[in-house]
Amino acid sequence: MTKRFSSLLEVRSAIDANQITLPQLVDHYLDRISTQQQLNAILEVFSDEAKTQAQLIQDKIKQGNAGKLAGMVMAIKDNIVYKDHPASAASKILSGFTSLFSATVVERLLAEDAIIIARTNCDEFAMGASNENSAFGPVLNALDNSRVPGGSSGGSAVAVQADMCLASLGSDTGGSIRQPAAFTGSYGLYPSYGSMSRWGLIAFASSFDQIGPFTSSVSDMQLLMEVMAGPDAHDATMLQTKPDYAKASKGPLKIAYIKDCIEHPGIEAEVKQATEAFIAELKGKGHTVEGIDFPYLDSMVPCYQILTTAEASSNLSRFSGLTYGHRSSQATDLESTYKLSRTEGFGPEVKRRIMLGTFVLTSDYFDTYYTKAQKVRQLIRQKTLDIFKNFDVIITPTTSTVAFKVGEKSNDPIAMYLADLFTVQANLAGIPGLSIPYATHPGNQMPIGMQLMSNISNEGLLFELAKQFESKA
């Protein structure tokens, strides 16, 4: 899709050349937001604030004391809190909730003069792969309104796709940034687990969740990570050092692809062809590319589902109708407050996951499911890390199909869960995964993304490789 600007570099040179001012740029994005409401990507626009900030930051640019992100206009997913602003994780249970503080990543963005223009629609509590689970209705893919944008960060993906902002934030527990990035033709990153503070991210499954960006360029991705990542005392699961995002390789890379991914019966022929073309192109650029066996593919989604639902059932117990958000008006005592508030406030997918998670944690089934899945996760993690003894990067298609039709999978949760087939590996192992726009489906013109994964904290290699394909898709 045509965008006014594809990177902060372009914005800044246009501002420096007096072709546009920051207030005019904000007006451009506000205009895009208001003329594309049918996509349902945005839950709330912060127009007055964005305009005020634009004026202040424009002055700073003139005076030469603006931050690194001056000119970066962003939208944030509705599960990332922003002081004095509502956040609902696209759930009715958080209606009326306004945050008393900002997520660490939001504070870091603002400190470098980014402007936050809106909060975006998503699947309720980030549970979904199509954005059809929002309490505020589905988000539509801007390239074809009969198709989904992917999920759960579908609003953030479409905000970038449809030029409503320059970059956005999503969260990724099993693919919720990379899959919508692939479905909408943007860059999307699941950062190394522990490189991004989860302080201020409304938790889904804490040992998997990371916040990450959607961008239209690798340079913006690199810059945003540079600003946002790094230790934070508020999050005890953080890595002690920040990855070096500019770290370059010393020569051609050793790249592995997982044979089972390409041979998988669920993969669409055009996605398979694009992956083969990608492999050929990598070889053409001098990299070594080898197919490897990784016989755990079919265990990954079940393992992910058991562990994430278990964590979610615990994390979501805080929504009790007592402390914040929705409280049932029918409640008469403590127990009915819990029961009715949760019954009325949560949507069907969230209820399904709380039930599943509660089930796998019951004492009768704990060892059969939860403990077993923990062992499987450990095995997948170790086997994945072992690959990096011989290779720098693992590649897969980001998804096995292009964006599917609205309603196509909404009554089949298992089919929907399989949309995460290639993405959950990074979350299970804690390694970074970057989805890059690579090709378009020759029949329906929908984007096809490739996923690049590296060892923990080696995002620099992924950015370097992604740049080699930057004007491709």
> Is 152 labeled as catalytic in the residue annotation?
yes
Check residue 188 for interaction with ligand GLN (CB under 6 A).
no
User: How far apart are CB 97 and ligand GLN at their closest, in Å?
Assistant: 20
Residue in 36, 102, 134, 176 binding ligand GLN, rule: CB under 6 A? 176
Select from 45-53, 122-130, 140-148, 388-396 the region that touches ligand GLN (CB under 6 A). Answer: 122-130
303-322 residues in contact with ligand GLN (CB under 6 A) are: 308
User: How far apart are CB 126 and ligand GLN at their closest, in Å?
Assistant: 4
Residue in 30, 118, 126, 301 binding ligand GLN, rule: CB under 6 A? 126
Residue tagged active-site, from 91, 99, 102, 152? 152
> Is 77 labeled as catalytic in the residue annotation?
yes
Q: In Å, what is the CA distance from 258 to each residue of 279, 292, 385, 402?
A: 12, 5, 14, 19
Side-chain half-sphere of 304: how many Cα atoms within 13 Å?
31
- d(Cα 470, Cα 59) in Å, to the nearest integer? 33
**How buried is 456 (Cβ within 10 angstroms: 0-12 exposed, 13-18 middle, 19+ buried)?**
middle
Residue in 72, 115, 127, 221 binding ligand GLN, rule: CB under 6 A? 127
Residue in 71, 154, 155, 175 binding ligand GLN, rule: CB under 6 A? 175
Side-chain half-sphere of 299: how many Cα atoms within 13 Å?
16
> Is 176 labeled as catalytic in the residue annotation?
yes
What would the x/- binding string for ligand GLN be over residues 398 to 437, using CB under 6 A? ----------------------x-----------------
Check residue 356 for interaction with ligand GLN (CB under 6 A).
no
Query: Is the torsion defined by CA of 15, 18, 23, 27 positive or negative?
Result: negative
Q: Return the number of the residue (23 or 413) whose C-beta is nearest ligand GLN.
A: 413
The DSSP-derived string for 417-436 is HGGGTTTHHHHHHT--EEEE
Task: Determine how β-strand 73-77 pairs with β-strand 115-120.
Answer: parallel
Among 315, 312, 305, 311, which residue's Cα sits nearest to residue 420?
Answer: 305
* Interacting residues of 64 by C-beta distance below 8 A, sequence separation 6+: none
Residue in 152, 156, 215, 341 binding ligand GLN, rule: CB under 6 A? 152
Residue identified by tokens 């080699």 is 468
Residue in 71, 138, 154, 174 binding ligand GLN, rule: CB under 6 A? 174
List residues with catalytic annotation. 77, 152, 176
